[in-house]
Amino acid sequence: MGNIVAIVGRPNVGKSTLFNRLVGMRQAIVDATEGTTRDRHYGTTDWNGREFTVIDTGGFTVNSEDIFERAICRQVELAIEEADSLIFMVDVETGITDLDLTMAELLRRQSKPVLLAVNKVDNAMRQTDAYEFYSLGLGDPVTVSSMTGSGTGDLLDAVVASLPADGPEEKTDGTTIPKIAIVGRPNVGKSSLTNALLGEERNIVTPIAGTTRDAIHSYYNKFGMEFHLVDTAGLRKKQKVTDDLEFYSVMRTIRAIEECDTAILMLDASQGVDAQDMNIFHLIVKNRKGCVIVVNKWDTVPDKQSNTMKEYAENIRRKLAPFSDVPIVFTSVTEKQRIFDALKTALHVCDNRRRRIPTSELNDFILPIIEQTPPPSIKGKYVRIKYAMMLPTPTPQFAFFVNLPQYVKDPYRRFLENRIRGEWDFSGVPMQIYFRQK
């Protein structure tokens, strides 16, 4: 399961440089091929097999009406509230500033793990300058150079060690009732959909506190469907939500995705798919959660023809490629069009995510296909796939046993995935295919 690691610190210490090193570079390549913009301040990374989400708190614009220092401290407070672990970055060139002291105090007063990263330690001479940061009272500083990357491995070791123990990949709370989250940009209609679906019945909801985190899963049994709605919004009731809206909504989205089995990614029909929507989509896929795209406000699309919906869907699927096997539902919450469809589809995707194919059935189907279209031989070597099986994992993962696994390339992986998707219904569910030595 993913965890959230937030990078905090005053401006110019090097937060975004570190962020780019951890997430951005790799993501930039992905984005370039997918044609989305790179305006992102959060993303997934992994270290020693541990995946987590990194957030650059400095990337979010602060409320300009707030005084500068107050606004930055507010973001630190929000990061403390939401993250599992914090990297507090300071700058060896400037030494300790007043703002560092204020932040250090905020960080000392709470119980989440904090890694003190002294940045811009580009050479050995600066190493000794880093000792002054012991006085912040946040333990041993880790010296890094975000620019060159030196020391970042040690920092990541410490980050991974600070994260809560890796529980089972899927949280098991003794129930298999599907968990649905409704995510998307502000104003697309998320709360309208929630209200339309659940309406006044909301008061019969029994909230159960999440197992490891504070998210609330509200249990519903309506319309003959039984499900949990992941509701992280409830967390904020104590505090006003006026400031740091973007920052908060991003944190909330990440959390909701981590908590759910299937996410309903809601779009506004009048606005199409933008980079922010794609960021959320990638988070869902990265976290191996089910996904349904709901295009809301369909009532606002003028001059609809018989093929408008089909063309709209095709256009979205092109953007989602290569993972385009995702259900798309067109709704109008205000006109109560297809809103139950959206929910039903999400529950169907939850079923798909749990689908298990018996080994014999899988091999009976896939081995003849492999025989017909084997992986291309490379450097005169024949690549032989002996058999396949679905792994006993909570999400669909397939292992193909091969004599030379390193020679099976991505196009062939996609070929196998498409054939599997053609035979069994895995729509809305990301799938992993591994090649293993046999």
Binding site for ligand GDP (CB under 6 A): 9, 11-17, 58, 119-120, 122, 145-147, 184, 186-192, 296-297, 299-300, 332-334
Q: Is 424 annotated as a binding residue?
A: no
Q: Is 233 annotated as a binding residue?
A: yes
Beta carbons of 267 and 279 less than 8 angstroms apart: no
**434-437 long-range contacts, CB within 8 A, separation 24+:** 434/391, 434/397, 434/398, 434/399, 434/400, 435/385, 435/399, 435/400, 435/401, 435/402, 435/405, 435/406, 435/408, 436/399, 436/400, 436/401, 436/402, 436/405, 437/401, 437/402, 437/403, 437/405
Q: Is 57 annotated as a binding residue?
A: yes
Q: Is 192 annotated as a binding residue?
A: no
Q: How far is the CB of 17 from ligand GDP (least distance, A)?
A: 3
Question: CA–CA distance from 347 to each of 135, 218, 262, 326, 424 (Å)?
Answer: 53, 15, 8, 13, 17
Q: Is 231 exposed, middle or buried (0-12, 13-18, 19+ CB in 10 A)?
A: buried
Name which of 248 and 435 has its Cβ closer to ligand GDP: 248
Q: How far is the CB of 313 from ligand GDP (least distance, A)?
A: 17
**φ, ψ at 184 (rounded to 5°):** 150, 175
> What string of H, E and C letters represents the secondary structure of 159-213?
HHHHCCCCCCCCCCCCCCCCEEEEEECCCCCHHHHHHHHHHHHHHHCEEEECCCC
Q: How far is the CB of 127 from ligand GDP (least distance, A)?
A: 13
Q: Is 58 annotated as a binding residue?
A: yes
Order of all β-strands in the sheet with 397-402: 385-390, 397-402, 432-437
Task: Match 């039903």 to its residue by tokens.
Answer: 344
Question: CA–CA distance from 113 to each of 53, 83, 108, 158, 216 (Å)?
Answer: 15, 10, 10, 10, 23
Q: Is 167 annotated as a binding residue?
A: no
Q: How far is the CB of 113 from ligand GDP (least distance, A)?
A: 20
Name which of 60 and 412 has its Cβ closer to ligand GDP: 60
Q: How far is the CB of 265 from ligand GDP (least distance, A)?
A: 11
Determine the length of the chain. Answer: 438
Strands 328-330 and 290-296 turn out to be parallel
Q: Is 376 annotated as a binding residue?
A: no
Name which of 256 and 399 has its Cβ closer to ligand GDP: 256
Q: How far is the CB of 275 from ligand GDP (least distance, A)?
A: 17
Name which of 196 and 369 has its Cβ closer to ligand GDP: 196
Name which of 92 and 433 has its Cβ closer to ligand GDP: 92
Q: Is 287 annotated as a binding residue?
A: no
Q: Is 16 annotated as a binding residue?
A: yes
Name which of 85 and 192 has its Cβ closer to ligand GDP: 192
Name which of 75 and 395 has its Cβ closer to ligand GDP: 75
Name which of 136 and 402 has its Cβ closer to ligand GDP: 136
Q: How far is the CB of 38 from ligand GDP (least distance, A)?
A: 15
Q: How far is the CB of 419 from ligand GDP (least distance, A)?
A: 37
Q: Is 139 annotated as a binding residue?
A: no
Question: CA–CA distance from 321 to each of 10, 90, 225 (Å)?
Answer: 38, 40, 31
Q: Which residues are annotated as a binding site for GTP?
A: 9-16, 56-60, 119-122, 184-191, 231-235, 296-299
Q: Which residues are annotated as a binding site?
A: 9-16, 56-60, 119-122, 184-191, 231-235, 296-299
